[in-house]
Amino acid sequence: MKSSKMRAPATPLRPMLPPKTPKSRQNSKENLVQKDPVQVFCRIRPLQSESDLSCIRVVSSSTVALIPPESAINYKISNNKETQYVFKHIFDVDSSQQEVFCTVAQPLVEGLIKGRNGLLFSYGVTGSGKTYTMTGNKNYRGIMPRCLDVLFKTISDYQAKKFVFKPDRLNGFDILTEADAMLHRQTEINSRLMKLERKDTDIEIASTASSDVTILSGIDEDNSYAVFITYVEIYNNNCYDLLEPSNNRNQPLQTKIVREDNNHNMFVHGVTEVEVKSVEEALNVFHTGQKRKRMGHTILNAESSRSHSVFTIRLVQAPVDINGEYVVQDRDKITVSQLSLVDLAGSERTNRTKNTGQRLREAGNINNSLMTLRSCLEILRENLLNGGNKKVPYRDTKLTHLFKNYFDGEGQVKMVVCVNPRSDDYDESAHVMKFAEITQEVQIARQTPIKPTFDNGLTPGRRRANQLFRQAMQVLEENGQEDAQNLEIDLGLIYKLPSFSDFQLRNDNMNDIMKELMICLEDRIRCRKRLVEDFDVRQKEVRQLIYNLESENIRLKTENAAVTATLNQDRERMKVLETKIMRYETTIDTLNRRIRDKDEHISQMETDLNEKQHQINRKEQEKERQRRKFDNKMAEEHDKKQRELENKLGEQKRKMESHMRTQEEKLRLVTDIINDNEFKAGPVSNLIHQFNAHSEGNAPQSERKARTKTIAMTNPRHRRSKSVGNEGWLEHRAPSIAHPGTVLQPYYNRTKTVTSPEMKDITNNRTSRYCLITQEADTDGELETKLYKGDVIPTKTGGAQVVFDDIECLTQQSPTASPNTSRKRKSENERKTPSKKSHTEIGARCSTGIEGHYSKKQRV
């Protein structure tokens, strides 16, 4: 392939701009200009309370009826007759935000992309839903965010880099080179790093959703687009820039003036225009200005707008160069269109809002600007109907002065009238309806797209062609093609001469027409010369291309013959393979039939198996039923035997208790005899005397002397049963008790251990058993531990006494000592002290008071 560098395109021709129409011709052509009426839509707000009465009835999709209530001012005059009003469309209480946007604002966005201007008003009394319709809330987006969403969705692939278009502060734009734009972008990045933007935590607008966004048609793929935002407030008939940069947030805003640019378009001089590249950036800019907007509290609305807000979306577009990459560096090629969304402040009546002071002044300026707007529309309608030329007072207020061009035919005007259907707002709603009726009768000249008649002489689709070319080069480079860098693309020019404009020959404009014709002919001559030169170059290139194609065709024919021979051989081979495939398919069919037969046999066997399993389950259920029946019968027999056994045990228990009461009575008599005569010594008797002394101490003084020689009698009603099993033990240990070191130790439930017991420990209701622990050496020199156990029985006088009924003797023996020697020594000791042993046994029996209950236990 022939290598050559990319050829530089020729200098583009200057576009042929439409000539300006002299003022003398404008009056003669007024009747020929197409005009459109102002489109007025009505939106009805839902009632805030179920108890409120409605004064509005929707008749059809374009007609609404206003019914006067008894509280209305003109109720008697109107004779209780309803008044019907016709609008472009009626949005009832069930209409969604998406429906309002598609009907009202989406055509304005389409015109914005095509170079037309648009103006949308929201008009109504305070609290009728104007702000909700324009901006929405955190759950439902309004018209403004939806316009931004649709616009950016449409131009997302054709946006110019930031700072390519730069505002000139005079309602126009300049085109910067790529180097200058890059320098501005770097400066912006550095400023963001030095000063972080504060995020808005109070988001009032719902996050954008791409599910319901429609991509609009009419986009020019060979243009680059940029979006700029301005946010202006008209407060007390003064203009303020809500996006004005300021180092101090509390610094008051500076007033701005309304001026006229070179094209006789009205604009706010010195307003800040912010370039945005996404919906999120635009909403952040909106929130920045919203914080500065003046809001106030009134009786009718908690957050009432005290000013008119104008949110303007400006779309700047310009064609790209011959390579489809950069914007053409020609300011005359720029097309600017704008869409102004105006949220008018609500009209108020002082007798309802009760405003005073600053709020009263604000309400007066709001009503004055709205009345001026109404007067301008009435004069426009009067001039249209009567053919008059009465001067329209646009300059009376900043609101009408700013939008003078729209009413003079520089854009499409629409209005959304918001109405509160409450009966209390009937009088205000009637004024709003009358104003909307007047507005619909105003005719505005239809605007044509602001585009040059000759589109620069560049080939349409050059941006897309350049993208495809770059993709092809990238594929070739990835595949290792060495000649990928030498490829050449030439989109060329459009072979078309500039067309002549429409001229009307008259005597008074002959010279002007001749000058315009001369300019047009010169442009055509220059364009023809350039196209002829380009045609000659292209003719040579086409001849060379045809020669190369012929050579390539001969080579391809030779290769085609070789490929055809190879193809025939492959076909013969394919026939052989097809025969084998047919034979294999027959074998596969046979195997499939056998598999189906086996599957049927398996299914039959599974059916039989399920039947057998069902029978087994039935037998198991019958067996389980018999087992439960047998268990029930055995349980009944067991309960019967258990009741008989309990009856026998109860009988025996009653007999034993009777016998025990007899023995206790005998034992009590013996105990009284022993206490009076013989039982005077020993640690156990001392403890009993202590407890008896305590019981006597609780008795009256008259009885204490009589009981000096007698023991306190127990209360037979408080005898505890030993079968309870919840005894509370009081363990009395001597301070010098030595631990024997054995594994097995005495264990009691609910034990309290003391070294010197007090009377409150004995008389405690939780103490039912008592244990006295003593240690002494036996005859063999081993340590012997004795445990004296007894019951704690309350006395009649409120005290308590201990009755010992058991003695445990714990001895410790050495495992290395001879058992015979120990036994022999023990027997000798027993023979030497027979009287002591007998005395100990007798004392133990007497202390317990129960014969035959003495026990001696030894533990190792």
Tell me: the pLDDT tens digits for 637-694? 999 999 999 999 999 999 999 999 988 888 888 888 777 644 444 444 454 444 444 4
Helix, strand, coil fractions of the chain, as percent rounded to 5? 45, 20, 35
What is the average per-residue pLDDT within 497-521?
69
- pLDDT of res. 726: 67
Predicted local confidence at residue 835, as pLDDT: 39
pLDDT of residue 246: 76
Question: CA–CA distance from 667 to each of 654, 718, 719, 770 (Å)?
Answer: 20, 17, 15, 20
Buried b (16+ CB within 10 A) or exposed e, 354-386: ebeeebeebbebbbebbebbbebbbbbbebeee
To the question of whether residue 126 is assigned a binding role by annotation, the answer is yes
Per-residue pLDDT tens digits for 44-99? 998 887 777 888 889 999 999 988 887 666 555 555 578 889 999 999 999 999 99
- Ranges of H-type helices in 678-788: 683-697, 701-704, 759-762
Q: What's residue 196's pLDDT?
A: 38
Instruction: Name the E strands within 264-394.
Output: 266-268, 274-276, 295-296, 304-305, 308-319, 335-343
- Could you tell me the residue ranges of all domains in the chain? 32-445, 507-675, 678-848
Cα 463 to chain centroid distance, Å, stands at 41
Per the CB < 8 A criterion, the answer to whether 88 and 98 are in contact is: no
Question: From CA 174, how far away is CA 177, in angstroms rounded?
Answer: 10
Q: Does 154 belong to an annotated binding site? A: no
Residues 597-627 as b or e (16 or more Cβ within 10 Å = b): eeeeeeeeeeeeeeeeeeeeeeeeeeeeeee
Beta-strand ranges (E) seen in 292-424 are: 295-296, 304-305, 308-319, 335-343, 412-419
Residue 29 tokens, joined: 């052509």
Supply the CATH classification number for the domain 32-445: 3.40.850.10
Given this model, what pLDDT does residue 682 score?
A: 47
Whole-number percent of the chain with pLDDT over 90: 27
Q: What is the pLDDT of residue 521?
A: 84
| pLDDT at position 628 | 92
3-state secondary structure of 699: coil
Q: Which residue reads 């001089």 in tokens? A: 269
Contact in structure between 459 and 492 (CB atoms under 8 Å): yes
129 is in an annotated binding site: yes
Q: Is residue 302 over pLDDT 80?
A: no
pLDDT tens figures, 811-824: 777 666 655 554 44
- pLDDT grade, residue 366 (50/70/90)? confident
685 has binding-site annotation = no
DSSP-derived secondary structure for 36-93:
EEPEEEEEEPPPSSTTPPB-EEE-SSSEEEE---TTSTTHHHHTT--EEEE-SEEE-T
With 80 as the cut, is the pLDDT of residue 2 above it?
A: no
The pLDDT assigned to 303 comes to: 52
127 annotated to bind ligand: yes
Topology (CATH level 3) of domain 678-848: Immunoglobulin-like (2.60.40)
